Amino acid sequence: MKCGFVTIVGRPSAGKSTLLNKLCGEKVAITSSVPQTTRNAIKGIVNREQGQLVFIDTPGRHVSEKKINKKLMEVSSLALEECDLVLYVLDATRSPGIEEEEIASLLIPLAEKTIAAVNKMDVSAADFNSAKDFISLKIPAVKERCFAVSANTGQGIDALVCELFNKAPEGDAHYGDEYYTDQDTGFRIAEIIREQAINRLRQELPHSLYVDIADMELTGTNLWVRAFIIVERESQKGMVVGKGGEMIKTIRLSALKELKKIFDWKIDLDLRVKTGKDWRSRDHILKKLIN
């Protein structure tokens, strides 16, 4: 049977995580319109008659001197070193810029194992040919393996999966077919809370927060969770709590709604906000959060 590790790379907001979820048929990774949503290498497993593909979603590559960006870049670079295949996701609605150039040069030595997915083809302004021209110019060997897809509608996904299986090596499955991800429960809950917070907060707040699961207790079918949304500065706390506590209440309820779709437990969520001063520049926090 075929079995391979496929690392998904691309610029922030290209739709990598949305594509991963479509490929797996499950919500494996959180998504948002805010760039740099994904902060970890997230595995999603696809089992088909031909075999097993283990996808590794990565943070969108954005060159910057900021500590957190460097750490995020490391995650995708490492995932590229270890994989059998690379799935390079491009956004058909945006013209390639400096970020795209950086990724294309990174992929030159990996060209033989790279497949490109030009995403967001459901948008009327999508331009497949420009993306393909860019690939032809920068990584010519990938020109023959450019797929027009939409992670939203599922357009082109079957042909893409077929090509990935074609190119995957022979081998035994790494995971039992009951698994679609390897993430632990605490991480998934933290991510869903973060997604709901990101989707409701503005300006720098989505980038300034992380979620810490302080405690979890399973009693029968009831799961009790205490989580903290951690912001960088004292002044940001108020924005997350909102007027009369409205914002944190909305985040909590929408997170519970999403969690209900994923888990069978009855979840009781105690959600609070606290400050972790300048956490984005603290090595030990970044080491714990980003991997």
Ligand X SMILES: Nc1nc2c(ncn2[C@@H]2O[C@H](COP(=O)(O)OP(=O)(O)OP(=O)(O)O)[C@@H](O)[C@H]2O)c(=O)[nH]1
Contact between 17 and Mg ion by CB under 5 A: the answer reads yes
Q: How far apart are CA 168 and CA 164, in angstroms?
A: 6
Tell me if 167 sits within 8 A of 85, measured CB to CB.
Answer: yes
Task: Provide, rounded to whole angstroms, the least separation between the CB of residue 223 and ligand X.
Answer: 26
- Residue 16, interface with ligand X (CB under 6 A)? yes
- Which of 38/236 has CB closer to Mg ion? 38
Rounded to the nearest whole angstrom, what is the least distance from the CB of residue 208 to Mg ion in the complex?
18
Closest approach of Cβ 40 to Mg ion, in Å?
10
Identify which of residues 17 and 114 has a Cβ nearer to Mg ion in the complex: 17
Token readout for 259 is 């969690």
33 near ligand X, rule: CB under 6 A: yes
| Distance of closest approach, residue 153 Cβ to ligand X, in angstroms | 7
Using CB under 5 A as the binding rule, whether residue 21 contacts Mg ion is answered as no
Residue 199, Cβ density class (10 Å: 0-12 exposed, 13-18 middle, ≥19 buried): middle
Which range binds ligand X by CB under 6 A, 29-37, 157-165, 203-211, 269-277?
Answer: 29-37
96 is a contact residue toward ligand X (CB under 6 A): no
Closest to Mg ion by CB, 38 or 208? 38
Between 3 and 14, whose beta carbon lies closer to ligand X? 14
Alpha helix ranges (H) inside 139-184: 157-167
Rounded to an integer, what distance in angstroms lies between the CA atom of residue 235 and that of residue 133?
Answer: 47
Output Rg (C-alpha) for the chain, integer angstroms. Answer: 19
**Binder of ligand X out of 2, 9, 32, 247 (CB under 6 A):** 32
Label the pairing between strands 210-219 and 222-231: antiparallel
Tally the residues of the chain: 291
Angle at CA of residue 99, ends 94 and 100, nearest 5°: 60
Query: DSSP label at 279?
Result: G
Q: Does 196 bind ligand X (CB under 6 A)?
A: no
Say whether residue 159 binds ligand X (CB under 6 A). Answer: no
Task: Tell me if 181 contacts ligand X by CB under 6 A.
Answer: no
Q: DSSP 3-state assignment of 144?
A: helix
CB atoms inside a 10 Å sphere around CB 265 = 17
Q: Residue 32 binds which entry of ligand X, Mg ion, none, with Cβ cut-offs from 5 to 8 Å by kind?
A: ligand X
Residues interacting with ligand X, by CB under 6 A?
10, 12-18, 31-33, 35-38, 59-60, 119-120, 122-123, 150-152
